[in-house]
């Protein structure tokens, strides 16, 4: 066993002595030792209950004859970090989480590892570490939050963000906002729409790293704890069978995940996290792959923020495996891909059936003929940009308008809430990329304000930063190269005409090539926004969004 490095033989008597100081017995130390990376904390609603999930995982490990050992990682709630300096640290935390789990997995040679995350950057960070360590690994998330109920409608966190925009227009009073605030997030779990956390949890199933139901069983259900126990038992089997992440995280697995992503209309942030995980697995996954798969994958699930359904609905309809079965029956899923169940998808998919065709539509009756995301390129985004096309109003799929240029999210929000943005405008928010932000902030505040003010059918937003998984409307992010690296977005001027053509996958600045070249020649990089600490170091080594915002090798 790998753990013998720290526990077996005469020379490891001091090591065993230290374990015994924590109460471990000789019997426990003789068994496979399973590390549990837990991001349980009291600052994220998706993580507030993870201690109970971890206890269930530990019970499963013990039932299967292993010995669990838990350690902690950090975590940031993007919703709470949204709209202020804290959001600059969110994406950067992904690399810290990956590094910390890797460090623990090397310092303590566990025989296997269970990842217990639940929110945006924690999930990909842990999976990146699993790929690096390449020891048997399984992911069991904390599960999605239930949707809220208010004023006769089903609501979620995005409802509250958009309600803020309604207050600014006078459509809603501050007193009227309070009931939404109180009801939108009814309890523990990752926010209930197909936002980034739930997109990544669902894709963990599609990658083969979680048992069926891992991405959709609600946090408050007992089935979540039963799944955690099964995952604890299964990791011991994976150790016995020698099934490591490199056998699961194959090119087929990543193509399956992108296909599922397109079918359920996931967050644009998946185009950051899947390539970053693939990078650790040494498998190329360029943005062009997302577009290629989008063009042949129908959009079958209309999830919030683009549609009416929430993750609890998807779970009730059969979950990710039922969706994958539909895609597999039409040749879009590689069933030979191995999973942490110890068998390939081909052996699992026949057990799962679509139970509600209003949530998971039939293949021949999709919401849209193509996938939820689109990759746009052009002279404004030579290396690409990303839009959740499934959440764009048809009237905005082709839009041309004057640029309204802002060098930070705060400047843009002030202008939007101040009534300075007019119908037809194209709001450009730059110097918010991985390097320029630094940290590539999610910008839910400007998009929600636009939607809440009823302008999402008339105003587009472009940025080298990110938009939240809860964003809807013509919000195009991840523009690469970013402004801080001298990308063309850096030289856009107020009033320049910008054309967005989602159907033809183009993003065009209507300025001559010679003028763009002259402007770029005169451009000077700005002073860093953060000059000390972790994010200053992060800005020096991070690459543009089209790479997944990974560090330079």
Looking at the annotation, which residues are catalytic?
468
Q: Which residue(s) pair with 442 in the sheet?
A: 466
Residue 289 vs residues 128, 326, 336, 511: alpha-carbon distances, Å: 20, 21, 20, 29
Taking phi over 0 as left and psi of -120 to 50 as alpha, with beta for the rest, 130 belongs to alpha
Residue 32 DSSP class: P
Q: What is the CA radius of gyration of the chain?
A: 23
Q: Which residue(s) pair with 155 in the sheet?
A: 148
DSSP labels for 88-140? Answer: GGHHHHHHHHHHHHHHHHHHS--SEEEEE--STTHHHHHHHHHHHH-S-EEE-
Residue 69 vs residues 19, 29, 111, 450: alpha-carbon distances, Å: 11, 11, 11, 47
Q: Which residue(s) pair with 462 in the sheet?
A: 428, 476
Please state, in angstroms and rounded to a whole number, the distance separating the CA atoms of residues 358 and 364.
13
Q: Nearest 5°: CA angle at 313, between 311 and 317?
A: 115
Please state, in angstroms and rounded to a whole number, the distance separating the CA atoms of residues 446 and 429.
10
Please state, in angstroms and rounded to a whole number, the distance separating the CA atoms of residues 197 and 195.
6
Please state, in angstroms and rounded to a whole number, the distance separating the CA atoms of residues 26 and 16.
8
Verify cis geometry, omega within 30 degrees of 0, for the bond prior to 384. no
For 10, residues 6+ apart whose C-beta sits below 8 A from its C-beta are: none
Q: Where are the alpha helices (DSSP H) in 428-491?
A: 444-452
Instruction: Pull the structure tokens for residue 189.
Output: 């779990």
Instruction: Pull the structure tokens for residue 243.
Output: 């099934």
| N-terminal to C-terminal alpha carbon distance within the chain | 31
Please state, in angstroms and rounded to a whole number, the distance separating the CA atoms of residues 39 and 345.
29
Instruction: Pull the structure tokens for residue 247.
Output: 């056998």
With residues binned 3-state (H G I as helix, E B as strand, rest as coil), the percentages for the chain, rounded to 5, are 45, 15, 40
């Amino acid at each position: 066993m790998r753990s013998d490095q720290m526990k077996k033989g005469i020379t490891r008597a001091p090591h065993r002595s230290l374990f015994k100081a924590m109460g471990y017995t000789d019997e426990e130390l003789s068994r496979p030792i399973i590390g549990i990376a837990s991001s349980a904390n009291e600052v994220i609603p998706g993580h507030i209950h993870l201690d109970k999930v971890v206890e269930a995982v530990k019970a499963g490990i013990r039932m299967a004859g292993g010995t669990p050992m838990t350690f902690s990682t950090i975590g940031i709630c993007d919703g709470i970090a949204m709209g202020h300096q804290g959001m600059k640290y969110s994406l950067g935390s992904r690399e810290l989480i990956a590094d910390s789990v890797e460090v623990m997995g090397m310092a303590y040679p566990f025989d296997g590892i269970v990842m217990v995350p639940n929110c945006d950057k924690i999930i990909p960070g842990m999976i990146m570490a699993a790929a690096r360590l390449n020891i048997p690994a399984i992911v069991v998330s904390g599960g999605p939050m239930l949707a809220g109920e208010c004023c006769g409608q089903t609501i979620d966190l995005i409802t509250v963000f958009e309600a803020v925009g309604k207050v600014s227009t006078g459509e809603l009073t501050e007193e009227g906002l309070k009931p939404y605030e109180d009801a939108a997030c009814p309890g523990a779990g990752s926010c209930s729409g197909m936002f980034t956390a739930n997109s990544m949890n669902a894709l963990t199933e599609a990658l083969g790293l979680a048992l069926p139901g891992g991405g959709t069983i609600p946090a408050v259900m007992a089935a979540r704890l039963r799944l955690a126990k099964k995952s604890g038992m299964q990791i011991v089997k994976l150790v016995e069978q020698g099934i490591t992440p490199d056998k699961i995280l194959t090119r087929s697995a990543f193509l399956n995940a992108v296909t599922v992503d397109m079918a359920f209309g996931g967050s644009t942030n998946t185009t950051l996290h899947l390539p970053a995980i693939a990078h650790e697995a040494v498998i190329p996954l360029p943005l062009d792959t997302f577009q290629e798969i989008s063009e042949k994958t129908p959009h079958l699930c209309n999830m919030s923020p683009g549609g009416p359904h929430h993750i609890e609905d998807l779970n009730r309809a059969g979950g990710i495996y039922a969706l994958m079965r539909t895609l597999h029956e039409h040749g879009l899923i590689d069933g030979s891909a191995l999973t942490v169940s110890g068998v390939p998808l081909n052996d699992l998919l026949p057990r799962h059936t679509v139970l509600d065709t209003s949530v998971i539509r039939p293949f021949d009756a999709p919401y849209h003929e193509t996938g939820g995301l689109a990759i746009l390129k052009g002279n404004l985004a030579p290396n690409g940009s990303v839009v959740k096309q499934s959440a764009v109003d048809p009237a905005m799929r082709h839009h041309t308008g004057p640029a309204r240029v802002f060098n930070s999210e705060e400047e843009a929000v002030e202008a939007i809430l101040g009534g300075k943005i007019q119908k037809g405008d194209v709001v450009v928010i730059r110097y918010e990329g991985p390097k320029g932000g630094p940290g590539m902030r999610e910008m839910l505040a400007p998009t929600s304000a636009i939607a809440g003010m009823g302008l999402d059918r008339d105003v587009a937003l472009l940025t080298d930063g990110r938009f939240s998984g809860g964003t809807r409307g013509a919000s195009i992010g991840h523009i690469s190269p970013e402004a801080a690296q001298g990308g063309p977005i850096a030289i856009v001027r107020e009033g320049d005409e910008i054309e967005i053509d989602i159907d033809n996958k183009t993003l065009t600045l209507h300025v001559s090539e010679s003028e763009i070249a002259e402007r770029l020649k005169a451009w000077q990089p700005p002073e860093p926004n953060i000059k000390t600490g972790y994010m200053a170091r992060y800005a020096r080594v991070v690459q543009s969004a089209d790479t997944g915002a990974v560090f330079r090798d």
